[in-house]
Amino acid sequence: MNKSFNAFQMAQQQFDAIADQLNLNEAARQLLRNPMREYHFNIPVKMDDGTSKVFRGYRIQHNDALGPCKGGIRFHPQETVDTVRALSMWMTWKTSVVDIPLGGGKGGVICDPHNLSAREQEQICRGWVRQLYTNVGPLRDIPAPDVMTNGQHMLWMLDEYETLTGAKYPGMITGKPVGMGGSLGRTEATGYGVIFTVREALKEMNIDIDKTTASFQGFGNVSQYAIRLYIKLGGKALCVSCWDQQDQTSYAFYKKDGINPDDLVGITDRFGSIDKVKAAELGYEILPGDKWLEVECDILVPAAMENQIKAENVNKISKKVKLVAEGANGPTTPEADAVLKERGIFMIPDFLCNAGGVTCSYFEQVQCNMNYFWSKDEVLGKLDFKMTTGYHKVSKLAREKNLYMRDAAYMIAVDKVVRASTARGWI
Ligand code: NAD
């Protein structure tokens, strides 16, 4: 989220290129280049010290031709409206590519939960819903957690929504704690989904997963579960990087024999920062954060933030790397993407690769709406099926038309939304 990088411009640039390839008419381009609706608002909060603070909140609904909007809410000090716009657009493509009957939305609040008490965060959550409760809901727009928000935040939001509407709507929001309307498997879903697609890609490349090595950026929800499943399937994870809250910079944690997520989780704070001193005691090499990208390995999994693989560092990627699986949203800039394409590095693009979260969120909503909950195995089995089917649909088109995977995924996703918008008589 640095100032010179604009995620929305990047999302539009990606869309424009596909619109040209699909030969879309002007109305379709205008409809999909920009969000359908945007809400920008203030959230006044009485702070613990008695002062008042006003936080800026957003909800952006990019497109709902395929169903109610769906997308997370981020709490981040450098959140910008353009980041939220980009993320809402990527949500539209994400639900479309894995064939979920939902549209794309995203929300955010400019705030830093590191410096807020639980009570202050609750007030932000409730304030967000007070501003929006007529515009979100199970049949309109269903929020979920994202960077620096979690099940507790979702529950506060649900409680405020149900208080204001006077009835129980467990399908209003997803990512809720299990036992309070949450789905088993949601915590694992995005990371596992990343690895389901990696598994399928390696099969197509005739590479045994148990002979591969990987490096991960980020050690939050997505990365932790991706690393776990990757190791379970036989892969060796060599490196993981994360943000250090105290030093305000990132570090990479490297172990040539393979990292152990259980060890690292034990020394990680709730925001995903790993304790350097304790990691060194466990035999990890502590390197500058950007070194995760330079590790000699087969697979790179950026699973932290957008704008991480870019023109300045893409050439530092080792010759050994065969596959990039984008766990994060928008981690690769179009300039870096062109280099990866030229180098023949296989790409599993973000809105396909990390669609496991929204897929499981959709399962959570389905379970909430029928008030009947599935076992974890059932959820993860259905997730595997959706991700594997989505992956193969994209890879088939990529092979048939000799397309880069990102372009193939975009073509399938955009085409489906255009068809739905046309069928509804919008364009
Ligand atoms: P998280 O907040 O749980 O973890 C983020 C991790 O990234 C932390 O370990 C943090 O230390 C690290 N990080 C932040 N800046 C970094 C930097 N500059 N260098 C290295 N590490 C850095 O977030 P998450 O839920 O794991 O989400 C990660 C990414 O995946 C985001 O782009 C998010 O939008 C995307 N995503 C998440 C989900 C989900 O279900 N959680 C679903 C789809 C996409």
**Looking at the DSSP assignment, which residues form a beta bridge with residue 108?**
58, 74
In the predicted structure, residue 143 carries a pLDDT above the cut 50: yes
Average pLDDT of span 418-427: 97
Q: Are 344 and 372 in contact (CB under 8 A)?
A: no
Phi, psi of 21 (to 5 degrees): -65, -35
Rounded percentage of the chain residues whose pLDDT exceeds 90: 93
The tokens of 332 are what? 């690769």
CA of 221 to the centre of ligand 1 (A): 7
Average pLDDT of span 349-368: 96
CA of 222 to the centre of ligand 1 (A): 7
CB-based contacts of 262: which residues, under 8 Å, 6+ apart? none
Structure confidence by residue, pLDDT tens digits, 63-75: 999 999 999 999 9
Q: What is the pLDDT of residue 316?
A: 98
The tokens of 118 are what? 């639980």
Rounded percentage of the chain residues whose pLDDT exceeds 70: 99
User: How many CB atoms neighbour CB 310 within 10 A?
Assistant: 16
CB-based contacts of 231: which residues, under 8 Å, 6+ apart? 237, 258, 261
* Ligand 1 near 215 CB (within 6 A): no
User: How many CB atoms neighbour CB 425 within 10 A?
Assistant: 6
Give the span between the Cα atoms of 55 and 156, in whole angstroms.
17
In the predicted structure, residue 1 carries a pLDDT above the cut 50: no
The tokens of 45 are what? 């909060």
CA of 303 to the centre of ligand 1 (A): 5
Q: What's the half-sphere exposure (Cβ side, CA atoms, 13 Å) at 313?
A: 14
Structure confidence by residue, pLDDT tens digits, 171-202: 999 999 999 999 999 999 999 999 999 999 99
Catalytically annotated residues? 106
What one-character DSSP code corresponds to residue 183?
P
Question: Which ligand 1 atom minimizes the distance to the CA of 252?
Answer: 20
Query: In degrees to the nearest 10, what's the CA dihedral of 86, 35, 351, 15?
Result: -80
Please state, in angstroms and as integers, the Cα–Cα distance from residue 10 to each residue in 76, 329, 421, following that order: 20, 12, 23
The string of DSSP letters for 112-130 reads -GGGS-HHHHHHHHHHHHH
The tokens of 91 are what? 């949500």
How many Å from the N-terminal Cα to the C-terminal Cα in the chain? 34
Structure confidence by residue, pLDDT tens digits, 235-274: 999 999 999 988 999 999 999 999 999 999 999 987 778 9
Phi, psi of 75 (to 5 degrees): -110, 115
Q: What is the pLDDT of residue 245?
A: 86
Number of H helices, E strands in the chain: 14, 12
Q: What is the pLDDT of residue 171?
A: 96
Question: Which ligand 1 atom minimizes the distance to the CA of 358?
Answer: 42
In the predicted structure, residue 332 carries a pLDDT above the cut 70: yes
Please give the mean pLDDT across all residues of the chain. 96
* Ligand 1 near 307 CB (within 6 A): no
**Given CA atoms 348, 92, 218, 316 in this order, what sign does their dihedral have?**
positive
* Ligand 1 near 261 CB (within 6 A): no
Pocket of ligand 1, candidates 152, 243, 268: which has the most ligand atoms within 8 Å of its Cβ, to mutate?
243
Please state, in angstroms and as integers, the Cα–Cα distance from residue 36 to each residue in 8, 104, 123, 164, 245, following that order: 14, 10, 28, 25, 36
CA of 51 to the centre of ligand 1 (A): 31
Q: What is the pLDDT of residue 2?
A: 52
Q: Are 315 and 340 in contact (CB under 8 A)?
A: no
Q: What is the pLDDT of residue 234?
A: 98
